[in-house]
Amino acid sequence: MTTLRTPSTAPAAGSPSGTGPADLVRRVRRGRARWALRRTLVLLVLVLAAFVVRVTLGDFTITIPDAVRIIGGADVPGATFILMESKLPRAVGALLAGAALAVAGAIMQDLMRNPLASPDILGVSGGASTAAVFSLVVLGLDGTGVTVAAFLGATAVAAFLVGMSGGAGRGNTQALVIVGVGCAALLVALTHWVLLRADVYRLSEAMVWLTGSVSSVTWPQLGRLAVLVAILIPAMLLLHRQLRVVLLGDDLAAGLGVAAGRHRALAMFGVVLLVAGTCAVCGPIAFVALLSGPIGRRLHRGRTRLVDIALIGALMVLVADHVAAYLVPGGSNLPVGVVTGLAGAPFLIWLIVTRTRVETA
């Protein structure tokens, strides 16, 4: 009589215990998590270092103990005004703007399934720019009036794009790109037409804003931007988990109980608010939204890790603003957009070339 034997669940002789497939998967996941955490911590240290350098060094050096005392309420003659009215607002503005634009760009690239996509192609930045220049030159507004006009212009353009493309929730990304490129070109022409009507003073002010600058940000503006960033970035982090399922296809997402159209529309709305809010305060800072995502994905082997991408964007703008203020030969307190544009264009060319080689290989 033959005796049936069940397979033994004990580990084979000579093999260590706990080497089953489930244990192997858990070890790999823990290893990836530690590997990602180390990179996040490195980026965080770099951002903090750049922030301290931007606040303390420059034409007027402020020691770290004095900076801490001033922020705590102490009055140091000369240093208090320079820190609280110039250095610290610019550093905080660069930090918030970089993080907001980077997250918006990464989400848009995932929605478009294209690492070279950017919120700029939607014309949202163009809407903010045109409305701000119009309010400066034609209406004679400044300060808060320009900020409100820029925000309204960006929001109006975004609503127009979504309506003309048939709704962001349907995944009609090709129509959205086409309408966005055409709208952006039209807005550039309108902006130039308005600039031709400006006097010398208004023209200079408008050109600084159009380049992208954190030199004139005020604490009330930073407060509004900080609230926007503090609400939207955590919300986008939570939403991005569902977007990973949506990117696998609407049918699969529906089978898993994820409303693809609703999540895509919410992501688009969040991108619009981040870009519009940032452009309303700092102007359109070039290449930050476009390049932060690809850099972050290269650090994480193709994965979109929004926390690290936000840190990369903040680091880019902080370093660029310090270079624009103090390190450009013959330059005198240049707008940060000049440096990001000069540094971002060669990187963009390199990114396109390397992507083309990979696709043709």
DSSP assignment letter at 169: G
25 confidence band (pLDDT: 50, 70, 90): confident
User: Residue 208 and residue 216: Cα distance in Å, rounded?
Assistant: 10
Quick check: helix, strand or coil at residue 68?
Answer: helix
DSSP string, 101-150: HHHHHHHHHHHHT-TT--GGGGTHHHHHHHHHHHHHHTS---THHHHHHH
Structural domain contains residue 253 = yes
Which residue would you say has higher pLDDT here, 357 or 95?
A: 95
Inform me whether the pLDDT recorded for 178 exceeds 90: no
Is the residue at 20 inside a domain? Answer: no
Any domain includes 195: yes
Query: pLDDT for 151-164, tens place per residue?
Result: 888 888 878 877 77
Using the predicted structure, report yes or no on whether residue 49 has a pLDDT greater than 90.
yes
Read off the pLDDT of residues 236-295 as tens digits, 9 standing for 90 and up. 999 988 888 777 776 777 777 777 778 888 888 888 889 888 988 898 898 999 899 989
Comparing 99-113, 180-194, 198-212, 216-230, the range with the smallest average pLDDT is: 198-212
Burial class (CB in 10 A: 0-12, 13-18, 19+), 355: middle
Q: For residue 4, what pLDDT is reported? A: 46
At 106 the pLDDT is 93
Whether 95 is covered by a domain: the verdict is yes
Q: Is residue 296 part of a domain?
A: yes
Our count of domains for the chain comes to 1
Mean per-residue pLDDT, 77-102: 94
CATH number of residue 173's parent domain:
1.10.3470.10
Indicate the pLDDT class of residue 20, thresholds 50, 70 and 90. confident
The CA distance from 227 to 13, in Å, is 60
Scanning the structure block, which residue is given the tokens 């990304």?
173
Query: Mean pLDDT, to the nearest integer, of 106-111?
Result: 88
| Structural domain range at position 95 | 30-349
Q: Mean pLDDT across the stretch 35-63? A: 93
Report the pLDDT value the prediction gives residue 6, as an integer from 0 to 100.
Answer: 44
Tell me, rounded to whole angstroms, the distance of Cα 107 from its chain centroid.
9
Find the DSSP H helices in the chain: 21-56, 64-71, 79-82, 88-112, 124-137, 144-164, 173-195, 200-211, 219-246, 250-255, 260-282, 288-299, 306-322, 336-360
Residue 5 lies in a domain: no
Tell me, yes or no, whether 84 lies in a domain. Answer: yes
Residue 7 lies in a domain: no
pLDDT at 136 over 70: yes
Mean predicted lDDT score pLDDT of the chain: 83
Predicted local confidence at residue 180, as pLDDT = 80
